[in-house]
Amino acid sequence: MAIQVSHSEAVVPTTKREQRQAYLQSLLTQVQASVPDAPALRALRAKAEAIVNEHTFPSNRDEDWRFTDLSPMLSMPFTAIADAVDIDANALAAVQMPEAIARIVLVNGRYNAALSDVAQLPPGVVIGNLARLLAKGELADTLTARLGTVKGDHDVFTALNTTGFQDAAVVYVPRHQVIEQPIQIVYLSALQDAAIITNSRCLVIAESGSAVTVVEDFFGAEKSDHFNNSVTEVWADDNAQVTHVRLQREGAGTFHIGKTAITQGRDSRYIIVPVTLGARVSRHNLEVYQAGPQTDTNLYGLTAIAQSQLADTHSLIAMNHPHGTAEQLHKAIVDDLAHAVFNGRVWVPRNAQLTNASQLNRNLLLSGRARVDTKPELDIVADNVKCAHGATVSQLDANELFYLQSRGIGAEAAQRLLI
């Protein structure tokens, strides 16, 4: 059911700032009313609520949001869904991944045991949902010690998620355990009569010496109005390796705001491939914090959008220790009236000596009306480093198209081949 909240003596906001503040408070009220009580999470949620109350809903006047217009959301009274939604197994046909060793399915932010499959796990590996694990007392101390403690938790949407997530997917890989096959996490947005807000949540813990591949898949909602506010926390402990694929292909009516926050221990390696294809408006905040020396970070992103979509990628790589390496390559293919945004920052403080970082944003415009705003940044204080960054914006080369067509390849096939 949808949670309806009424105020008998509501104060009508007058200024735009007051309107945004009132809208944020309505979202906060909605998600809090739909959250089941969990004593172990009360302190965490109270802290997050205080952070939300310190903020207002973002606008184009905010530097971090000046290219991403969220004002269409202000006219949409998103409601939170308190009850589970029945979903037929055929709903997962589009995302079947036979090679996965396990699958977790969250429908509108709630765990669905019937659609999930965690029967083939190696000994010691725990994959499931947070509510059940806390209720059973399984790994409760480990999970609560890590959940919500990754740096970067002070932005408004991350705090809103922490306040209002109903359940969370959990992947726990113990020390020296290597999982060869991928683990799939599916976030299914199911159609509802009203526009809904979902707070998807995931916690991945790879302990020292372990290795795991996690595939996150966001899909559903089709053309209905939907707000998916997701947060994924990844802990790669000392000498661990995490490979992470994030595929966002939600419906054309979706507003998707996602945070992926990673903490890397000494000698760890983290690889992420975020792919953005869907949603009306999407924003992915990707933040990597190197918490030990000799860490290796690799970010390989792709955005492919058309029509009037807007896709925004903001990334931060904080290289806080010596001998760290980081490589980022983000590509965008933009057609029709679509708008892609990239803002990547590499932070190299004084302690991060002998580091090596590179960052490149490559953009391909397929339409004269498509738009790209790109801003790669290097913020370097250390004096013994090797860092480089750059950005390109271009269109398909007419000579290359002619070359392919002159050899019997049709115009459309030639364009697809070059893309």
Phi–psi pair at 216, nearest 5 degrees = -100, 135
6 has a pLDDT exceeding 50: no
**Which uninterrupted H or E stretch holds 20?**
helix 16-33
Q: How confident is the model at residue 224 (pLDDT cuts 50, 70, 90)?
A: confident
320, 357 in Cβ contact below 8 A? no
Count CA within 13 A, CB hemisphere, residue 3: 21
Q: Which residue has the tokens 């998620």?
A: 161
Q: How far apart are CA 374 and CA 390, in angstroms?
A: 10
**R_g over Cα of the chain:** 22
Residue with the larger pLDDT of the pair 231 and 15: 231
The mean-pLDDT minimum among 4-8, 102-106, 150-154, 380-384 falls in 4-8
Average pLDDT, the chain: 92
385 has a pLDDT exceeding 90: yes
Percentage, residues of the chain above pLDDT 70: 96
Q: How far apart are CA 276 and CA 354, in angstroms?
A: 33
Q: What is the mean predicted confidence (pLDDT) over 359-372? A: 96
Q: How far apart are CA 76 and CA 195, in angstroms?
A: 7
**Where are any strands of DSSP class E within 291-398?**
296-305, 310-319, 325-334, 339-348, 356-365, 371-380, 386-395
Among 157, 166, 170, residue whose Cα is nearest residue 48: 157
205 has a pLDDT exceeding 60: yes
Q: What tokens appear for 94 in the block? A: 């589009």
290, 319 in Cβ contact below 8 A? yes
Q: How far apart are CA 162 and CA 41, in angstroms?
A: 9
Q: What tokens appear for 193 in the block? A: 């009569």
Count CA within 13 A, CB hemisphere, residue 74: 16
H helix runs in 344-410, sequence order:
398-405
Q: What tokens appear for 408 in the block? A: 């019997």
CA angle 102, 113, 243 (to 5 degrees): 30
Query: What are the b/e assignments for 231-244, b being 16+ CB within 10 Å?
Result: bbbbbbbbbbbbbb
Q: What is the mean predicted confidence (pLDDT) over 66-88? A: 87
Q: How confident is the model at residue 12 (pLDDT cuts 50, 70, 90)?
A: low
- β-pair partners for 387: 357
226 has a pLDDT exceeding 50: yes
Q: How far apart are CA 369 and CA 308, in angstroms?
A: 10
Please report the pLDDT score of residue 7 as a whole number. Answer: 44
365, 337 in Cβ contact below 8 A? no
Please report the pLDDT score of residue 192 as a whole number. Answer: 72
Q: What is the mean predicted confidence (pLDDT) over 225-249? A: 97
Please report the pLDDT score of residue 102 as a whole number. Answer: 96
Please report the pLDDT score of residue 11 as a whole number. Answer: 54
The mean-pLDDT minimum among 19-23, 189-193, 333-337 falls in 189-193
Q: What is the mean predicted confidence (pLDDT) over 9-22? A: 77
For residue 298, the SS3 value is strand
**How far is CA 267 from its chain centroid?**
24
Q: What is the mean predicted confidence (pLDDT) over 107-136? A: 93
340 has a pLDDT exceeding 50: yes
Q: What is the mean predicted confidence (pLDDT) over 212-217? A: 98
Please report the pLDDT score of residue 84 as a whole number. Answer: 75
Q: Which residue has the tokens 């947070």?
A: 130
Task: Please tell me the pTM assigned to this model.
Answer: 0.93
Q: What is the mean predicted confidence (pLDDT) over 288-295? A: 97
Residue 73 DSSP code: G
224, 194 in Cβ contact below 8 A? no
93, 137 in Cβ contact below 8 A? no
290, 322 in Cβ contact below 8 A? no
229 has a pLDDT exceeding 90: yes
CA angle 138, 143, 148 (to 5 degrees): 155
Q: What is the mean predicted confidence (pLDDT) over 233-237? A: 98
